[in-house]
Amino acid sequence: MQSYAITTAYLVATALFIFSLHWMSDPKTARRGVFAGIAAMLAAVLATWAGNKIVEHWWIIIPIAAAIIPGVWLSMVPLTAVPQRTALSHAFGGLAAGLVGTAEYYYWFSHEPEQLSAFRMTAIIAEVILGYLTFTGSLIAAGKLQEVKWIPQRPWTYRGQNFVNLGALALAILLGVLLIVRPTTGWAPWVFGLVIIPLALNFGWMMVMPIGGADMPTVISILNSYAGLSAVAMGFVLDNKLLITAGALDGSSGLILSIIMCRAMNRSFFNVLFGAFGQIAAGAKEGERKSAKSASAEEAAQMLGMAGRVVIVPGYGMAVAQAQHRVRELYDQLSKRGVDVKFAIHPVAGRMPGHMNVLLAEADIPYDRLIEMEEINTDMPQTDVVLVIGANDVVNPAARHDKTSPIYGMPIIEADKARAVLAIKRSMNPGFAGIDNELYYMDNTLMVFGDAKVVVGDIAKQLTGHAGH
């Protein structure tokens, strides 16, 4: 009877996990998807606990209770810090998988060596390598997103680094194969604990350090995929079908998201992981550069107020300045004047997938006003003013025509095709790709310099005094 109840709970949890992913793909049902995921995880934990004699393992309440405190703290971070919180979640998941695999191996080696079959050892090696590299890689990703001083935002590279990194991974896999063949020999535990695990831990941080900070959205989704795969391996080790299913859903969704983001940047996984993208020096056409024209907040307000159609392009600068609520005020003022306002969302704007969507949702921007890149580009020629807030490479026209540019071929939001462009930026410093943005020097572009939160707030105030036609 107990086994039947646990199997039923696992089946229900599996269905809820699937529905959770499905519902979270649409903003209208996203909240329902979150609750479905919570219910699925709760059912999975309780069923697993019950299946392992809950009364005999009452002490598990202690670490669960202790984990609530940091869990609540992590849930209360501002939305601008969600990317690094997500990276930390992946780190914890990877560490958990790695520790479980480690504990299972040493327990079976000491007490039940017959359990260490070739299949189970293959799962353990995969679980440990993927888990530990996800742990250290995600910690570095979180540090880059948090802009920790001792972790460089630009790619940290040295001669032959790819050979060193791949060599470390290859050695860990090779030794893992040896352990699969000879899992119970006297030297096996030493190789497992003193060589394979350190190699996996080192590969994780060595893999992420050469990747620039603005590539972290793709890195996070790739690490998410690794964490899911480590959970799948853990499911095989523990013979837990729900863990296999949940890990497969996690891993496949992370992989699909990574593919979508790589396509959005016109780049490959290999280029993201090993390309050291972001080291390119500022453009070589220094002598041909035109001077950028600037405008004040008052002048920007006049242009926006007289427009019929306005497209706002949010970027990482908006997130850093936490300007989303000021953007909402600007949206309200423009709407009162009868201006048709839309938001252009680039797939890799910000520091995590959907970063701009989440920030604008926090400010209660109507979701039907958020338009994907492909759709909004068709409206650009009929747009009176495009307001670029902290975005850079995702609006750079060089991606369309400059074959020497590191962003050549990357789909962009074609802001330059609008009648006029206002670009809010702190300075003329280049973006992540290390090149100047041609948009800033075009005849139809005006720069509005300053902190995005302050500038947008000033523009909204100017409009407040002139609301209505």
Catalytic residues: 393
What residues contact 364, with CB distance under 8 A and at least 6 apart?
Answer: 328
Query: Count of H helices and E strands in the chain?
Result: 18, 6
CA distance 126 to 429: 43
Residue from 197, 202, 49, 218 nearest 139 by CA: 202
Helices (H), 76-184: 82-111, 118-146, 161-181
CA distance 356 to 370: 9
Helix (H, G, I), strand (E, B) or coil at 294: strand
What residues contact 196, with CB distance under 8 A and at least 6 apart?
Answer: 125, 128, 129, 172, 175, 176, 179
Beta bridge partners of 294: 447
In the chain, the amino acid numbered 355 is H
For residue 455 the two structure tokens come to 């500038």
Taking the CB of residue 442, how many other CB atoms lie within 10 A of it? 17
Task: Look at the alpha carbons of 189, 191, 194, 197 in this order and tell me if their dihedral is positive or negative.
Answer: negative
Residue from 405, 350, 340 nearest 376 by CA: 340
The pair phi, psi for residue 345, each rounded to 5°, is: -110, 115
Question: Please, what is the angle between helix 30-51 and helix 241-264, to 10°?
Answer: 150
The pair phi, psi for residue 160, each rounded to 5°, is: 75, 15
Helix (H, G, I), strand (E, B) or coil at 203: helix
